[in-house]
């Protein structure tokens, strides 16, 4: 694979992760069905221009797999996320957007072994930086790193 196509694939994957986090946020906040939100993103957001902002093209199959997977395994993922947190922190204190990032990252760590853990963690840290200050991105790093270690010990 050429460097250019490799970079294009990486950008497409990053865009799919960003869209998945946004879709998961929308699903949680609006109680919408996953399939409806997925179709909305594919038809009206991914690769489209909205109010002067061009949204990047995304790997649609990766996007769908994350959103559907997180929705179907949400309780299991939330238990795993809670395990990575200190006892004084409860998952219900985590914002919907942060929880969407953690759920998507957790799903990839658990269900997509073809993607290296370091890549998954780095991508979701970068996504956290897009929305939150550095200390919150560090929280994502710590949680996903603990999760990857838990998984490698299983």
Q: What is the pLDDT along the chain (154 residues), one digit of tens a residue?
A: 455 466 777 889 999 999 999 999 999 999 999 999 999 999 999 999 888 888 889 999 999 999 999 999 999 999 999 999 877 778 888 999 999 999 999 999 999 999 999 999 999 999 999 999 988 899 999 999 999 988 777 6
List the chain domain ranges. 3-153
- What's the CA angle centered on 44, arms 40 and 48, to 5 degrees? 145
Task: State whether CATH 1.10.940.10 applies to domain 3-153.
Answer: yes
> How would DSSP label each residue in 77-146?
HHHHHHHHS-TT--GGGS-HHHHHHHHHHHHHHHH-TTS-HHHHHHHHHHHHHHHS-HHHHHHHHHHHHH
pTM of the model: 0.92
Token pair recorded at residue 79: 């238990």
Residue 102 burial by CB count (10 A; 0-12/13-18/19+): exposed, middle or buried?
A: buried
CA atoms within 13 A on the CB side of 87: 0
Whether the Cβ atoms of residue 41 and residue 63 lie closer than 8 Å to each other: yes
pLDDT value of residue 6: 66
């Amino acid at each position: 694979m050429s460097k250019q196509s490799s970079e294009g694939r990486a950008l497409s994957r990053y865009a799919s992760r960003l869209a998945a986090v946004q879709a998961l946020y929308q699903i949680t906040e609006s109680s919408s069905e996953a399939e409806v939100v997925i179709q909305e993103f594919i038809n009206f957001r991914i690769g489209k221009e909205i109010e002067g902002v061009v949204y990047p093209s995304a790997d649609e199959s990766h996007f769908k797999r994350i959103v559907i997977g997180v929705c179907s395994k949400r309780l299991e993922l939330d238990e795993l996320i809670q395990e990575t947190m200190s006892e004084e922190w409860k998952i219900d204190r985590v914002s919907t957007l942060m929880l969407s990032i953690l759920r998507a990252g957790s799903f990839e760590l658990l269900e997509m072994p073809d993607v290296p853990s370091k890549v998954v963690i780095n991508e979701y840290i970068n996504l956290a930086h897009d929305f939150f200050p550095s200390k919150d991105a560090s929280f994502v790093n710590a949680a996903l790193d603990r999760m990857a270690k838990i998984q490698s010990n299983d």
